[in-house]
């Protein structure tokens, strides 16, 4: 299959892309490369089957979809604080850009379309074990954008007489190693802080529930959604994760602490976290036979080993989504102020 992955150089994308290449697919990646070129190794290993386009989901033409069978949309601004930075920009990218990508794919005759939504659409969840049918209560701009694009893409499918097959994957919070590391995700940042500072800060009280899933298990879910039969996935929404990886944040902190002796857990003086959701993953298990393979403890061990071996720099700005967006915003200001034809010193 020829698959286009928008946002394919990001945290999930840079794990998904090599996996799809290993499976034998031809890949096009569309990405701004805001966090660097994380696809150097797969470009070398699969030179004839991977084409990386440094471009924007808001600006590219429909030409990009020529011969494409399936699209995975992983692009956009990927956490709450980065979305709050410039709300107008967030709507532009995450909502208008997300819808535009789906419309162009649909017009170009792409059949399968997998959208990366989030369990954060449940927001302040009511009760334990939320299903795909539960009411959504998004409490952030980021999550409201997910709800809007999820619905838009589903309607596009419903109006297409079966020619366009959308699938929405509502991902649990992801953890584990990736070529574009993210130390702004709970398990990764707790592991990093325990290793570097021997201290884990717990925000929002710690009683809030959150489901988690390993990045390689997420990539497997995308692969299934992209390639499985129409009857299994078309028009469907799936929560992606496992019931046993629903954890209250304070308990998560204790688990990470236990992996790194001498670590203390400290409560940050913050307001209660409004995001509180405990989710069931029964549907994806029943319909697709999907089971996760990696536990929270596996993820902690893996990230810890990479920190100990020096394979990842815990202080690299690019691994902190908000810091990197702040840096890019500042860089843009400086270029506008003193740049000549886009150059600063030369």
Ligand X SMILES: NC(=O)c1ccc[n+]([C@@H]2O[C@H](COP(=O)([O-])OP(=O)(O)OC[C@H]3O[C@@H](n4cnc5c(N)ncnc54)[C@H](O)[C@@H]3O)[C@@H](O)[C@H]2O)c1
Which residues of this chain interact with ligand X, rule CB under 6 A?
A: 7, 9-13, 30-35, 56-58, 74-76, 78, 93, 97, 116, 118, 171, 173-174, 180, 182, 185, 321
User: Shortest approach of ligand X to residue 31 CB, angstroms?
Assistant: 5
Query: For residues 166 and 338, which CB has a smaller minimum distance to ligand X in the complex?
Result: 166
Query: For residues 97 and 157, which CB has a smaller minimum distance to ligand X in the complex?
Result: 97
Within 8 A by CB and 6+ apart from 204, the residues are 249, 270, 271, 272, 273, 275
Q: How far apart are CA 75 and CA 77, in angstroms?
A: 7
Q: How far apart are CA 174 and CA 187, in angstroms?
A: 8
User: Shortest approach of ligand X to residue 274 CB, angstroms?
Assistant: 17
Query: For residues 7 and 206, which CB has a smaller minimum distance to ligand X in the complex?
Result: 7
Within 8 A by CB and 6+ apart from 223, the residues are 16, 19, 20, 23
User: Shortest approach of ligand X to residue 269 CB, angstroms?
Assistant: 25
User: Shortest approach of ligand X to residue 66 CB, angstroms?
Assistant: 19
Query: For residues 112 and 182, which CB has a smaller minimum distance to ligand X in the complex?
Result: 182
The residue to which tokens 């805001």 are assigned: 34
Q: How far apart are CA 161 and CA 145, in angstroms?
A: 26
Query: For residues 35 and 290, which CB has a smaller minimum distance to ligand X in the complex?
Result: 35
User: Shortest approach of ligand X to residue 262 CB, angstroms?
Assistant: 28
User: Shortest approach of ligand X to residue 24 CB, angstroms?
Assistant: 23
The residue to which tokens 């989901």 are assigned: 57
Instruction: Give 276's DSSP letter.
Output: B
Q: How far apart are CA 192 and CA 213, in angstroms?
A: 18
Angle at 297 between CA 294 and CA 303, to 5 degrees: 90
User: Shortest approach of ligand X to residue 261 CB, angstroms?
Assistant: 28
The residue to which tokens 């509180």 are assigned: 276
Query: For residues 161 and 284, which CB has a smaller minimum distance to ligand X in the complex?
Result: 284
- Phi and psi torsions of 295, nearest 5°: -90, 170
Q: Smallest Cα–Cα separation from 174: which of 296, 289, 257?
A: 296
User: Shortest approach of ligand X to residue 142 CB, angstroms?
Assistant: 7
Query: For residues 106 and 275, which CB has a smaller minimum distance to ligand X in the complex?
Result: 275
Contact predicate 221/155, CB 8 Å? no
Instruction: Count CA atoms within 13 Å of residue 261 on its CB side.
Output: 0
Query: For residues 206 and 299, which CB has a smaller minimum distance to ligand X in the complex?
Result: 299
- Phi and psi torsions of 62, nearest 5°: -65, -15
Q: How far apart are CA 75 and CA 47, in angstroms?
A: 23
């Amino acid at each position: 299959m020829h698959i286009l992955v928008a946002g394919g150089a990001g945290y999930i994308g840079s794990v998904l892309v090599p996996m799809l290449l290993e499976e034998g697919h031809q890949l096009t990646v569309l990405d701004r490369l805001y966090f660097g070129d994380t696809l150097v190794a797969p470009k070398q290993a699969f030179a004839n089957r991977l084409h990386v386009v440094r471009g924007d989901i808001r600006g590219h033409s429909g030409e990009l979809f020529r011969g494409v069978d399936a699209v995975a949309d992983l692009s956009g601004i990927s956490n709450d604080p980065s979305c709050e930075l410039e709300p107008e920009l967030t709507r532009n990218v995450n909502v208008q850009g997300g819808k535009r990508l789906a419309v162009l794919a649909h017009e170009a005759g792409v059949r399968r379309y997998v959208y990366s939504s989030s369990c954060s659409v449940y927001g302040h969840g009511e009760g334990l074990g939320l299903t795909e049918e539960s009411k959504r209560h998004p409490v952030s701009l980021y999550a409201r954008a997910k709800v809007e694009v999820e619905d838009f893409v589903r309607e596009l499918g419903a109006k297409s007489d079966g020619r366009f097959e959308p699938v929405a994957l509502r991902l649990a919070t992801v953890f584990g190693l990736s070529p574009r590391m993210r130390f702004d995700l709970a398990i990764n940042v707790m592991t990093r802080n325990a290793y570097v500072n021997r201290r884990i800060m717990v925000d929002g009280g710690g009683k809030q529930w959150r489901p988690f899933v390993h990045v390689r298990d997420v990539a497997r879910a995308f692969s299934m959604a992209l390639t499985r039969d129409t009857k299994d996935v078309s028009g469907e929404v799936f929560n992606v994760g496992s019931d046993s990886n629903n954890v209250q944040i304070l308990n998560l902190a204790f688990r990470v602490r236990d992996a790194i002796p001498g670590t203390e857990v400290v409560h940050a003086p913050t307001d209660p976290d409004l995001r509180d959701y405990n989710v069931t993953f029964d549907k994806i298990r029943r319909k697709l036979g999907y089971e996760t393979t990696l536990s929270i403890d596996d993820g902690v061990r893996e990230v810890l080993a990479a920190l100990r071996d020096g394979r990842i720099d815990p202080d690299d700005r690019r691994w902190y989504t908000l810091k990197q967006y702040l840096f890019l915003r500042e860089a843009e200001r400086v270029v506008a102020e003193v740049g000549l034809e886009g150059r600063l010193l030369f």
